[in-house]
């Protein structure tokens, strides 16, 4: 039986995770979150509630007339958050004007172009000479807000998710869940999942738990998967109830608590987004979405290079044919000149013979 190892018998590579942890904490982390949905669904309030900060304190609300003709804009806001010595640079990408105009056909294009631009910039930096300080601005997660007023997904919701589901991790959100009863929330969730499946939309899939995970984590992961799409309530108002301060909304019939799992899925969303699956969202962005873009981009570049080579070959062949034709024409001209010279020589000889005969007759 092998005895227990002493400290002298250890090599030391067991401390590698601690080294990686220290280096990662020193470097800090970054995360880019995109929020998409109609105006008035509580996107800004939810983001402020998730990260306990006021990101949109300087925002100006457009008028109704401006919204009718306004196109989709892309707004980026960065904020540095520190918790227990861990620094996170959070970038929130908002899309004001999305689905507000009367014509919503092109509202998805601006968002898609922005996602592609971030991939293109990262590909350019990654292919450059100096790759030591690459800034990752790729969108790691997209919270898509679904209106609670409808009976499922709207056409613009379907079109957006079908255009973006292979480029970004989409997490569907049922906004303002306090406007629905528990039964209505359950019915709407099932309807949304059914329509997502019918249209072949790929939303973010939670990774399977490892076999060595404890039962509590497995149960937690199961509850998160069952909560999709998350029904959420956002509020930054602090209320005091029975001597206890809570965040929620006060109604004539009672209080809706943001952090109460019986009232909404806010805690589950925050747990998934920040505590348990933030790194997985980044890994899927790197290993799946960015690799798909990279492979497609390289393939398109190879096609363009091949087309340029073929064009150059055609041009060179055309120019070569022109040279051959010119040589042929010169040869024909030389042959014609040679024939004319022979004809002139023969004519001169004939004239010379005729002239000699005439002189002999005269004598």
326 domain residue, yes or no: no
The CA–CA distances, whole Å, from 243 to 142, 192, 225, 260 equal 37, 39, 35, 17
Residue for token digits 């006021």? 54
Number of domains in the chain: 1
Q: Is 214 exposed, middle or buried (0-12, 13-18, 19+ CB in 10 A)?
A: exposed
204 domain residue, yes or no: yes
- What does the pLDDT look like over 24-39, one tens digit per residue? 677 778 899 999 988 8
222 domain residue, yes or no: yes
314 domain residue, yes or no: no
Average pLDDT over residues 272-290: 90
- What does the pLDDT look like over 51-110, one tens digit per residue? 777 765 665 555 555 554 455 778 888 888 887 888 888 888 888 877 766 556 677 888
Residue 264's domain comprises 18-304
Query: Would you state the pLDDT for residue 56?
Result: 59
CATH assignment at residue 107 = 3.40.50.300
Q: Looking at the predicted structure, is the pLDDT value of residue 362 above 50?
A: no
131 domain residue, yes or no: yes
237 or 350: which carries more pLDDT confidence? 237
254 domain residue, yes or no: yes
| CA gap 358, 363 in Å, rounded | 9
The b/e string for 324-338 (b: 16+ C-beta within 10 A; e otherwise) is eeeeeeeeeeeeeee
pTM value is 0.76
């Amino acid at each position: 039986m092998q005895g227990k190892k002493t400290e002298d018998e250890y090599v030391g590579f067991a401390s590698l995770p601690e080294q990686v942890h220290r280096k990662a904490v020193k470097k800090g982390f970054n995360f880019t979150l995109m929020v998409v949905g109609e105006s008035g669904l509580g996107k800004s309030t939810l983001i402020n509630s998730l990260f306990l900060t006021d990101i949109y304190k300087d925002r100006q609300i457009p008028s109704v007339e401006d919204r009718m003709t306004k196109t989709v804009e892309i707004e980026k806001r960065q904020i540095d958050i520190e918790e227990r010595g861990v620094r996170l640079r959070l970038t929130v990408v908002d899309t004001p004007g999305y689905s507000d105009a009367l014509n919503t056909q092109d509202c998805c294009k601006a968002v898609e172009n922005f996602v592609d631009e971030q991939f293109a910039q990262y590909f350019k930096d990654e292919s450059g000479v100096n790759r030591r300080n690459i800034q990752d601005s790729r969108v790691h997660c997209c919270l898509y807000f679904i209106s609670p007023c409808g009976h499922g997904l709207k056409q613009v919701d379907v079109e957006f998710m079908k255009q973006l589901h292979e480029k970004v991790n989409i997490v569907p959100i049922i906004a303002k869940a306090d406007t629905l009863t528990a039964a209505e929330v359950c019915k709407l969730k099932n309807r949304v999942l059914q329509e997502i499946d019918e249209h072949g939309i790929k939303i973010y899939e939670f990774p399977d738990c490892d076999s060595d995970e404890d039962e509590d984590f497995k149960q937690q992961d199961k509850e998160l998967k069952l909560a999709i799409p998350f029904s959420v309530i956002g509020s930054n108002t602090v209320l005091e109830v029975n001597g206890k301060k809570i965040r929620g909304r006060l109604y004539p019939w009672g209080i809706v608590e943001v952090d109460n799992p019986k009232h909404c899925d806010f805690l589950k969303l925050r747990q998934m987004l920040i505590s348990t699956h933030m790194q997985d969202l980044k890994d899927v962005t790197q290993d799946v979405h960015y690799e798909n873009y990279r492979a497609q981009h390289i393939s398109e570049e190879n096609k363009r290079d091949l087309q340029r080579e073929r064009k150059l070959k055609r041009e060179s062949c055309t120019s070569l044919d022109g040279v051959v034709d010119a040589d042929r024409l010169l040869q024909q001209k030389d042959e014609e000149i040679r024939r004319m010279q022979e004809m002139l020589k023969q004519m001169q000889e004939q004239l010379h013979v005729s002239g000699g005969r005439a002189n002999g007759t005269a004598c």
